[in-house]
Amino acid sequence: MKEPKEAQKAKVAPPPDKSDNGLDKLKSALEMRRRSRQEEDGVDKPEVPPPVSLGPAGAIVDALINTSPEKLLELTDFDRNQVSLVPQVVVIDDMWDYIEQVLAYRTNKDDYPVHHNGQKLPKIPDTSGKFVHVLAQTRRSLGGKMKKALEDMALAELETKSMDDTGGVGGHDFED
């Protein structure tokens, strides 16, 4: 004796209780489940702090991507004559910029602050500080020292990664 499908469904799953009391019971059961799961997972796993820097690889990438004039001075391979001349050229360029600002100030004193970010007078450049700074940068790249240092860092990083990945020197453990 087979019962119709509708009768089988009625036996399997009773109709949901639509009263407020039934919803409250369901909500409290769900809340109890959430609490029990939180209590089970109560042991918090310590979060791994983010690295302070990107390491040697990040320094290399930063040096190669950052195309500011300062980085270009550090990465260019200079000889001794260029090392002595580049800082002088930079200081002369700063002085020409200052002369242009003085000329603009003298030709139109009233409009000068409007066109130069609110400065009332031309700003005197720090030529000695700039000279020392550029000289230090160019000396770092004398004979390609900075470039060689970056290459050495990259090679060291590759060697340590290959040793960590493969577990030994030469890329392979002893195999039979």
Q: What pLDDT band is residue 83 in, cutting at 50, 70 and 90?
A: confident
Tokens 């139109």 identify what position? 108
What's the domain range around 66? Answer: 55-77+142-164
Same domain as 117, residue 152? no
Q: Is the pLDDT of residue 100 over 90?
A: yes
> Residue 7 falls within a domain, yes or no?
no
Domain count, the chain: 2
> Do 124 and 101 lie in a common domain?
yes
What pLDDT does 169 receive? 54
Is residue 97 within 8 Å of 125, Cβ to Cβ? yes
What pLDDT band is residue 3 in, cutting at 50, 70 and 90?
Answer: low
Amino acid identity at 120 = K
Distance CA 62, CA 57 (A): 9
**Same domain assignment for residues 73 and 106:** no
Would residue 170 count as lying in a domain? no
Same domain, 134 and 146: no
24: in domain: no
pLDDT in tens, 114-169: 888 888 889 899 999 999 988 888 887 777 777 777 777 777 777 777 666 665 55
CA distance 108 to 174: 81
Predicted TM-score (pTM) of the model is: 0.49
Rounded mean pLDDT of the chain?
Answer: 75
Q: Same domain for 61 and 96?
A: no
Phi, psi (degrees; rounded to nearest 5) at 126: -90, 85
What is the C-alpha end-to-end distance of the chain, expressed in Å?
A: 71
Confidence at residue 176, expressed as pLDDT on a 0 to 100 scale: 46
- The answer to whether residues 136 and 59 belong to one domain is no
Statement: residue 97 has pLDDT above 90 = yes
Query: Is residue 56 scored above 80 in pLDDT?
Result: no
Cα–Cα distance measured from residue 24 to residue 16, given in angstroms and rounded to the nearest whole number: 13
